Structure 1
Amino acid sequence: MSLTEETRRAVNERVSRLREEYGEFSVSGDTVELPREEFDAAREQARRSQAGSASACVLDGDRLLLVRTRESGELWGVPGTTTDGDESLEAAAVRAVREAVDVRCAVSGLHRVRRRRVVPVDGDDRAIHSLWTLFDARHESGSPRACGDAVTDVAWWESPPDAVHASVQFRVDSWANAAGPATR
């Protein structure tokens, strides 16, 4: 079976399992074209982790945990990572929070699912399929602190910051609308 077929099958299986666990939800999708060198690197990553990636939006009462990373610069986002082997998406999301900010959390729901098809810009017919999931999680323990080299800042927010990464803007907006106004 080709890597294109393997990754498509893995994504379909993960979506089916998520539907069994969380019920019906919408799945958005997109296709991204990468230069050959980046596509080849993405293929190597897909060989190690065919399921995709998971992030967690950690809530503690009315507070929302957000991070800045070297990659996101001044934009606030949520911790996330790729799955390791057969690791569940939920376990990856919890691990991402623990490794990024030393906080323990538990997944409490599924907020968003996006399928991505990655193809090389040169028209090669090979593709990589991946799944990105955003879970809601509840804080269990720990005071957040930036861990490792990737996270540059971490904070609890009681109202949304001005600069939020586009990938989680919708979630921050829905949290802000549900929580009502407050201060950091």
Structure 2
Amino acid sequence: MTDSQGFILLPNVVSRVLLRTLAADMDASMCKTTPTVCREKFNEYEVPSSGYAVKDEFVKNVDKSQLASLFHLNSIPEHPWSINMGVFHETEADPSKLKTANKKEVYVTIAVTDLGSHNGWFNFHEGSHLRKLPLGKAISLNLRAGDAVAWSGNLVYSHVSGGGGKFLTIVYR
């Protein structure tokens, strides 16, 4: 997948050992705490130290030049702006209800568990970040635990009905 689609797939960027630890920490955290943020499609929780270890491994392993085309003027920030951890929940998704994130941000979503439309991962509309009509077709990505997708904040996406998928998102500004 190329940046002309508004997203870039990054397979196997984080070890499964770190992800299993993070998934276990997420399960423990979700049982004991309330979400820090509740959104329409997912809830966010406080990021444990294992989440920061996943972020650090991603930053160490990724070739930043792969991400450059997603950034305005192709300048990559030295450090991520924030890190978020969450789990998708079941919804009555309306695929005609289109969404975007913050156009000034680039998101790197790392699959803590396998992610796809069956468990809540968004459908992207390819090339929609370019704001050309007609809107590109909806693409359902299937990520394995340890895979990541970097995506432009102005990429159009839609929710799906599934839930249960766990993710960690690194935000660059």
- TM interval, short-chain normalised: under 0.3
State the structure with more CA Rg.
1
More strand by share: 1
Where relative contact order (Cα < 8 A, 6+ residues apart) is larger, the structure is: 2
TM-score (norm 1): 0.23
TM-score (norm 2): 0.24
